[in-house]
Amino acid sequence: MTLPRTPSFRLNGRRALVTGAGRGIGLAAAAALAEAGAQVTLVARTGSEIEQAAAAIGALADGAVLDVANTPAVAAFFDARPAFDILVNNAGTNRPMQVWDVTEADYDAVLDLNVKAAFFVAQGAAKAMLRDGVKGSLIHMGSQMGHVGGPRRSLYCASKWAIEGLNKALALDLAPHGIRSNTIAPTFIETPLTRPYFEDPAFLDTVLARIKLGRLGQVEDLMGAVLFLASDAAALITGTSLVVDGGWTAD
């Protein structure tokens, strides 16, 4: 009897790009991909931070300074390099506030980075894949707030619901070319960006009451999801969202 073989989670010989990779979720994603054998390019706006992150990962990592909100710079970045096999479209921001307090500047800050920049990074990566004949994987960092609503999260929810719709459209456009597109939708993950929020005991209690597994997410909770969607183990998965929320959206 010939048994089926589990598809490999190894990424040897593949090239990956991670945006917003200087710390937090982006750094964890880059580390996971490198551990699986991919050559990973980490990008962020701050040169010193990205250099330290790449050095910490080691020989399979290099850093590049790139402001993903600068659309011409993003296009030039992809034009100047061979196509990546894997994109982790991670750069993002949040400005929690009541909807009546949102200004146009707040709107632009969140939507321009979380949606516009994410769109053109995905477009750049996909165009390079098409140019070079690469069949790859686009992974967009969404949120549970792209599946539900949340108080004081009007801007963030708008941006992450947009990413879910974009993801499905990308999957349809790119499937004939062997390029997959998926999102990861985490719950609250403890990172340098989010840690100050949890200093409010009332807010922390509210969050923990909704996460059925009873704890905040850690970046390590997302590393397996990134690796899975990047690998051959997810070869038939496209246009979907891998929700890593400890049960938040289950009820």
In contact, 160 and 154? CB cutoff 8 Å: no
Q: 189 - beta bridge partners?
A: 217
Domain harbouring 156, CATH code? 3.40.50.720
Catalytic residue among 77, 119, 120, 156: 156
Q: How many independent structural domains does the chain possess?
A: 1
Specify if 4 maps to a domain: no
Specify if 225 maps to a domain: yes
Q: What are the start-end ranges of the E strands in the chain? A: 15-19, 39-44, 61-65, 86-89, 137-141, 180-186, 241-244
What is the 3-state composition of the chain as percent helix, strand, coil, each rounded to the nearest 5?
A: 50, 15, 35
Specify if 119 maps to a domain: yes
Residue 43's domain spans which residues? 15-250
pLDDT tens column, 165-183: 999 999 999 999 999 999 9
Token couple for 212 = 């059925």
pLDDT at 87: 99
- Separation CA 139–CA 5 (nearest Å): 25
* pTM exceeding the 0.85 threshold for the entire prediction: yes
Specify if 6 maps to a domain: no
The band of 163, judged by pLDDT with boundaries at 50, 70 and 90, is very high
pLDDT at 101: 98
Average pLDDT, the chain: 97
Is 156 catalytic? The answer is yes
Report CA 153 to chain centroid distance, whole Å: 19
Specify if 172 maps to a domain: yes
Specify if 61 maps to a domain: yes
pLDDT tens column, 78-128: 999 999 999 999 999 999 999 999 999 999 999 999 999 999 999 999 999
Specify if 10 maps to a domain: no
Specify if 196 maps to a domain: yes
